[in-house]
Structure 1
Amino acid sequence: MTISVAHTDDAASPMRGLLPLGVGIFVYALFLLAGNRLLIDPDTMWQITVGQWIVDHLAVPETDVYSFTMRGQPWISTQWLAQVIYARAYATAGWSGPVVLAAAAIAATFALLAKFLNRCLSENTTLVFIAAALALTVPHLLARPHVLAMPVMVAWVGGLVAAADRREAPSYFLLPLMALWANLHGGFVLGLMLVGPVALDALLSAEAGSRKSLALRWAAFGLAALAASCLTPYGWNSLLASQKILALGSALPLIMEWRPADFGSVGAFEICLLLGIALALYRGVTLPAMRIVLLLGLLHMALAQGRSVEILALLAPLVLAAPLARQIGSAGIAHSTAAAPRRGALFGAVAALLVAGTFAYASVHRFEPHMHGSPVAAVTELKKLHLTRVFNDYDFGGFLIANGVAPFIDGRTELYGEKFFVDHNAASGLMEPENLFRLLDVYKIEATLMRTQSAATKLLDHIDGWQKVYSDDIATIHLRKMDAVHTAEPAVDSKAK
């Protein structure tokens, strides 16, 4: 194998090993400057609304209190802590709060990734992985709960893999990370699932005589991690909540972020995947059996669900780092204790500059959500009608919650279930036109709020009993009005506004 060993003088230099700091600063500045991009998802608004509800009631939700179709039905928020943090940030600093919070979490994620990788790989190789991970995760880097959980995920998996590389059991100091992750986002279940295969990787690489004791220590850690994941207001129900997502079945492919990977056009995922295959073929890279299993498992998730691409981008490098270092070369980095005071002063100075720069930029730049796809004007008109039973487009649900209007459906798909979601999708898209009229009647719908270009909107334009009372480029409101008779394209009734 080829190992590049750094010179002692260079290794002792206080400037060695600062790559994670540089990566963190760059990523933070990048996303702060592009801050409004973090707010393009309207779900951010309802996440803040739920967080504020928790703060106001000093309790976490146990049932739905937002929709009129599922009101009172069991519902828990496995991301309650992230919602509270976003709500407090918003209450303190307006939209600057969630932007700064999300940018800091993203920066911490990539700084941690760089730190774990740079322990094994050269700085150049580490930067290649960081660049690829950044390209793959950008589409899903938004001010939403999963972003706050990302640095915890990297730290947790990095700790597991590092223990396996040392042929040891993980430190119990990792357990608080699992407890924190379980309160930030439901993705903590993945962290629990990875304990088993990483433990098996450690056992297979350990000497035969030590495997029994090592297996017992990994098993004890796994049980402790399971117990730590239950340290939430919901206890072990947080674990069970993941089953509702998996039980959505045919509903999942209908949601954009849950759709399988699409290679109809060349994108970052395909490019990175092809380059990775090319590298493996060119350099003859080989991996231990369980590392192959882990890598293929992450790849399968990314191919099956678009939202899992970020998991592949952040965790695959951790799985690959040590085996690659043994084959394509690494940089040995010695850590000098003599440099600690100088590094501490450097970190303090950088932190102060980042805080000052953040305040300066936030004072001259206005952060605000991207509203081009939200029914802002339509909801303003809708609220004037004082209606309680509105059939809405799926994408409008979060905006309605944030504006105090009870939706028919919203992004909490696990609450509504597979059949309800599929029926609504078939109705709004007119795949099954009878579904639309059945839902309008069964739920005694008083008005509809749908995208102006949707099939259901175009149909209601010509259906007796429904009158278009507002329309713009984004959304249209149809009011149930029994005396409305349509023989041609109806005009908007300005008096109904």
Structure 2
Amino acid sequence: MRMRSLLLPGPAALIALVLAARLGMSPLKNFDLFFHLAGGRFVLEHGFSRVDPFSVTGTAGWVPHEWGFGVLCVMLLRWLGAAGPALLVAALVSANLLLLWKALGRAASGHRGLLALAALGAILVVHAPTWPQERPYHVGHLLFTVAVLCVQSWRAGNDRVLWVFPFLGVAWANLHGSWLLGPALLGSTAVGAALDSPGPESRRRAVRALAFCVAAFLGAGLGPDGPNIYLYPLHHSLLPSTQTIVEWRPIDLNAGSSWAYLALAGAPLFAVGAASKRSVASLLPAAVLGVAAIKVQRHAPFAAVLLALVLLEHAAAARTVTGTPGPLRRFWSRLDDAVARWSAGARGGLWPALLLVMLTAVHALHPTPVEQGVRRSTIPLTALATLRTLPPGKVLNGFVIGGPISYFAGPDYKVFIDSRNDPFPMSVHEDHDKLLWGEPGWEEVLTRYDPDYLLWEEENPGNILLDRLRARGGWRELSRDSGYVLWVRERSQATGRP
């Protein structure tokens, strides 16, 4: 019976299997991945530096707070070729999905029926826009789910699980910028638990949990950025340039994922209102993060998890659809019980794990070079290869292509800007917009930066700068690839530069 349970895939395992196959065999395509790769390679070869090694405009200093992800991806590239980062994302997403299903089961008191399956589906819709992107927030999503499971275990009476949080704080802060959510989740849950059960024993446990919350927070400082990391989340969120990034804006009602999030935010209101007893321990962190996610959509995947847990915890008692005709109620109940039995009798997480192991073995034996594993319609590899053959110099480039330049050409080719965002003062972002849109002052920006090369997107609005530079003259085209052009500056012989 146990063997049959291990071999039979449950709902989450089936979804994880599909995602593992799709993501694990996907070509590399996200622009941000390449500045993580460039940063990870630089750390491995030169160590950490407070001075930005990839630009001359990044005067705010390099803060490699997600250096661990970059280093890990570089090591996987060396072992597995281009498939390394893709398989890492597949493993992170699949593991997170399976752990989420476990957390939902605990919140529903073990009954993972239709409501639990619907909650999981809504969470996945909220997470779905992140899946095609090879970025470190997959690590953040997984570690947040680990923190949720630890908090659930603590609420069930296991105080020893608190020792996980200091180590979690150290690892998380060096992998993804969402590390502050770990201590915040534990601290707010501890306060809520003390309010749920007033008494000396409850207060003692809450104080102990708060102490580990502080330890997890302090542990984040054990990294290359030291104590500066404590203020980094606040500093980054307040940067004017951060407000221009899509994922840091309020939720977009044109996106299906936003409506799934709003459904998750609204559904618990009915469950909490009908519940005979309300849990502040689950409501407090969900309410705070849930409101924050409406203001900043980047938080939505984390908040969606907490909202789903609140829904299942407060809806646990009644497993019928109230107010519906008898036959429909019986049909719902039977279907709900069937899904719950399937979920309880299936432990098939083995299958996505086996698939990932097989894919890893294949790529370990036959690694694919990075250039062959990149989506060529997205990344202008020919132009980047041409740039690498030219003398080192300064490159005038758009926001997203900076990372690929730093990785494929190297740090000797100084980018104007890239999507790391925080190393660049707001004045550089404003200068970028002047160049992009042809705003007054764009010529002064060009003169001040004095680039040797230009790697620029052809499509509107990129054509604005290209048309103006053609009219001025002094540039020669070397390559045209994947919607980008590479131009070299024609200088006089006396300068000794390109």
TM-score range, shorter chain: 0.7 to 0.9
Q: Counterparts of 1:214-233 in structure 2 under 5 Å?
A: 214-233=205-224
Matches within 5 A, 1:63-142: 63-70=51-58, 74-121=61-108, 122-124=111-113, 125-141=115-131, 142=133
After superposition, where does 1:326-341 map in structure 2 within 5 Å?
A: 326=317, 328=319
Rounded Cα–Cα distance in structure 1 between residues aligned with 2:255 and 2:234: 34
Match of residue 180, structure 2, among 171, 184, 189: 189
2:357 equivalent among 329, 333, 355 = 355
Query: How far apart are 1:476 and its partner, in Å?
Result: 2.7
CA distance in 1, matches of 2:84, 2:454: 34
Bigger shift: residues 401-410 or 234-243? 234-243
Secondary structure of 1:414's aligned partner: coil
- Matched AA of 1:117: L
The one-letter code matched in structure 1 to 2:49 is P
Match of 2:323 in 1: none
- Residue aligning to 1:447: 453
Instruction: Check the 8 A contact 1:261/1:306 in 2, yes or no.
Output: yes
Output the aligned Cα RMSD.
3.7
Displacement of 1:241: 2.7
Q: What is the aligned partner in structure 2 of residue 399 from structure 1?
A: 404
Superposition deviation, residue 413 in structure 1: 0.8
Rounded Cα–Cα distance in structure 2 between residues aligned with 1:469 and 1:113: 51
- Note the C-alpha offset of 1:467: 3.1
One-letter amino acid matched to 1:356? M
Residues 1:153 and 2:144 aligned together: yes
Instruction: Rate the CA distance shift 1:315–1:429 in 2: closer, same or farther, 3 A.
Output: farther
Give 1:474's match in structure 2, choosing from 483, 488, 496: 483
Q: Tell me the number of residue pairs that the alignment of Structure 1 and Structure 2 aligns.
A: 458
Alpha-carbon distance between aligned partners in 1 of 2:463 and 2:315, rounded to the nearest angstrom: 52
Q: Quote the Cα distance in structure 1 between the aligned partners of 2:294 and 2:467.
A: 36
For 1:492, the equivalent position in structure 2 comes to none
TM-score (norm 2): 0.79
1:203 aligns with 2:210: no
Distance in structure 2 (CA, Å) of the matches to 1:382 and 1:350:
40
C-alpha spacing 1:370/1:244, structure 2 compared with 1 (3 Å): farther
Amino acid at match of 2:168: L
Task: Give, in angstroms, the shift of residue 390 of structure 1.
Answer: 1.8
Q: Which runs of 5+ in 2 are unaligned?
A: 321-335, 493-497
CA distance in 2, matches of 1:130, 1:362: 33
Q: Distance in 2 between matches of 1:223 and 1:123?
A: 34
Going from structure 1 to structure 2, the CA distance change for 1:34 and 1:315 (only over 3 Å counts) comes to: same
The aligned counterpart of 1:379 is 384
- Secondary structure at 1:67 match in 2: coil
Distance in 1, matches of 2:272 and 2:238, equals 42
Retained in 2: the 8 A contact 1:20–1:114? Answer: no
**TM-score w.r.t. structure 1 length?**
0.79
More displaced stretch, 202-211 vs 98-107: 202-211
Any conservation in 1 of the 2:24–2:359 contact (CA below 8 Å)?
no
Amino acid of the structure 2 residue aligned with 1:475: Y
Report the alpha carbon displacement of residue 216 of structure 1 after superposing the two structures with TM.
2.2
Q: Which residue identity does 1:54 align to in structure 2?
A: V
Find the partner of 2:33 among 24, 44, 48. 44
Deviations 1:103-132 (A, max 9, x none): 111111111111111123222233222222
Q: Which amino acid aligns with 1:452?
A: E
Runs (5+) with no aligned partner, structure 1: 1-11, 484-496
Q: Is the 8 A contact 2:9 2:351 kept in 1?
A: no
Quote the residue 2:258 is aligned against.
Answer: 269
Within 2, Cα distance between the matches of 1:383 and 1:17? 51
List aligned pairs for 1:398-477, cutoff 5 A: 398-403=403-408, 404=410, 405-430=413-438, 432-434=439-441, 436-453=442-459, 454-470=462-478, 471=480, 474-477=483-486
Matches of 1:416 and 1:241, distance apart in 2: 15
Is the contact made by 1:302 and 1:309 (CA closer than 8 Å) also made in structure 2? yes
Distance 1:456 1:378, change over 3 A: farther
Q: Which amino acid aligns with 2:28?
A: L
Q: Secondary structure at the match of 1:410?
A: coil
Aligned match of 1:488: none
AA at the equivalent of 2:377? H
What SS does the aligned partner of 1:442 have? helix
Give the match for residue 324 of structure 1: 315
Distance 2:67 2:380 in 1: 26
One-letter amino acid matched to 2:167? P
